[in-house]
Amino acid sequence: MAQIGWSAARRTRFGLTLLSSLALCLGCGAGARAQEKITVLPEKVVTPAPVSAPAPAPLTLEQCIQLGYERQPALAAARASLAATEDARRALYNLGLAGLLARDLDIRKQQACHGVQIAQASLAQAEWETRYAVTRNYYTVVYVRMQQDVLNDIVKRLSKGRSTAEKLLNSGEVTKVTRIDVDMFAINIDLLKLKQIEAEVGVQKALAALREAIGVSCDFGLDVAQDTLPTVVTTLCKEDLIRIAIANRGEVIQAQSASRVTELEVAAQAKKLFGVRNLTFAAGSDIHAKPIPQGVSNGEYRPGAIGLEMPPMLIGKRPDRVQRAQDLSARASAVVDKTYNLVSLEAESYYFKWLDAKEKLDQLDAVSPRVDDLTNRIEKRLENGEATGDEYIRSVTLADQTRAQHNDALYEHALALAALERITAGGYRINPVVPHHP
């Protein structure tokens, strides 16, 4: 007579298959499939990818972001992980009668649902990271070109001053202008042309970084349409930013869902009445596969995160296994608290970066008109032969240094806003771009 029921070996194989499916649902890898038969495919010859067609240029920021959503490989990977997690969850629900002998199947299904939430949060997080990377590099291109304009302007003004000085020197009239002034103009112009070369290289480097953030190849014809940075935001509430960040961030959602998965593991182990070696949701996978930021304590203080802990198997009698699962669940709760603190610190840090840039802009807006007035007065004196070339050079340099500092502050302000948009997962959005002039 055929034996009714499953042998211990068959039950073990079924448990391994069930936990492997759950591990996929949690996005933890597929180590439990190591014993499956591997088919070795013949080696293929890799052919170069076709040359991409040039992008319509120039592109706006929103067009670059949309292109990044379509082309960034990190997003394609996150979408594929989510699809695999949903398929694995569906496989658990499709077990039907085959899953009746698994006492913990209902708990594993709940864990699988939380695994899908984790994968969804990971995808949302990847989307905001992509948006931030594109925005940051787009603003960098704009910023470097703004600094190019400053250099071009000072070269024009010094060239005009040199022409004025030469005319005065050749007129034979008694003025304060000497041959040394003319030579000083020429030397300063030549040195500034070196800076112009550096700035052009800086634009190309920024465009290369933007292409990578979007996810297109180096032969993709790319240029940006925008030539200004976001208008100055005058008011932000630190407490609101922190609250929104905690409510929206993908990392927080991931930590909360992972904590719930670990809580459910306590109940799963309690259902395992027999046996001293029972699998957990981490069986056949590496729950530490997602990199955890390490802390930094040098010129900058940046605390590191802490991660979950769960062995692939708990060993011991049921009370001992349940107790250990409870201990690890308490650690998962601490992970959630640490995540709250890190997100709060990040929001607060970039709030102060925004505040610092805003206060610099306020100060520069007050100083710039005075500097311009001084430069105009010295320029008129030079035209009348009442000022030296050195005085004019110093005034023009001061004016353009002020403009360059203003651009620096605008750039810092734009990056802080872009970071706050990422940190709050869109709870705060950057204002529409309008020109801002000191």
Give the C-alpha separation, 28 to 282, whole Å.
7
- Strand stretches in 261-377, DSSP E: 277-279, 296-297, 301-302, 313-315
Residue 276 is predicted with a pLDDT of 76
Output the pLDDT for position 79: 95
State residue 371's pLDDT score: 93
Q: Are 135 and 147 in contact (CB under 8 A)?
A: no
Q: Which of 329, 312, 399 is nearest to 364 (CA)?
A: 399
CA atoms of 198 and 150, how far apart (whole Å)? 13
For position 32, what pLDDT does the model report? 34
CB atoms near residue 413 (< 10 Å):
25
Taking CA 251 as the corner, what is the angle to CA 250 and CA 255, rounded to the nearest 5 degrees? 120
The token pair at 81 is: 């992980």
Beta-strand pair 296-297/301-302:
antiparallel
Residue-wise pLDDT tens for the chain (438 aa)? 444 444 444 444 444 444 444 444 555 433 333 333 333 334 444 444 444 554 467 899 999 999 999 999 999 999 999 998 898 888 888 887 665 667 778 888 888 898 899 999 999 999 999 999 999 999 999 999 999 999 999 999 999 999 999 998 888 787 888 899 899 999 999 999 999 999 999 999 999 999 999 999 988 989 998 778 999 999 999 999 999 999 999 999 999 998 999 999 898 888 876 777 788 787 744 454 455 555 554 566 778 777 888 888 888 888 898 999 999 999 999 999 999 999 999 999 999 999 999 999 999 999 999 999 999 999 999 988 899 889 999 999 999 999 999 999 999 999 999 999 999 999 999 864 444 444
As beta bridge partners, residue 277 has 315
pLDDT computed for residue 236 by the predictor: 95
121 close to 261: Cβ distance less than 8 angstroms: no
**Residues whose CB is less than 8 angstroms from the CB of residue 310 and which lie 6 or more positions away in sequence, other chains included:** 262, 265, 280, 281, 282, 287, 328
User: If you ran DSSP here, which 8-state letter would residue 223 be given?
Assistant: -
Retrieve residue 266's tokens.
């306590």
The confidence score (pLDDT) of residue 281 equals 81
- Fold observed for domain 54-223+230-282+314-423: Outer membrane efflux proteins (OEP) (1.20.1600)
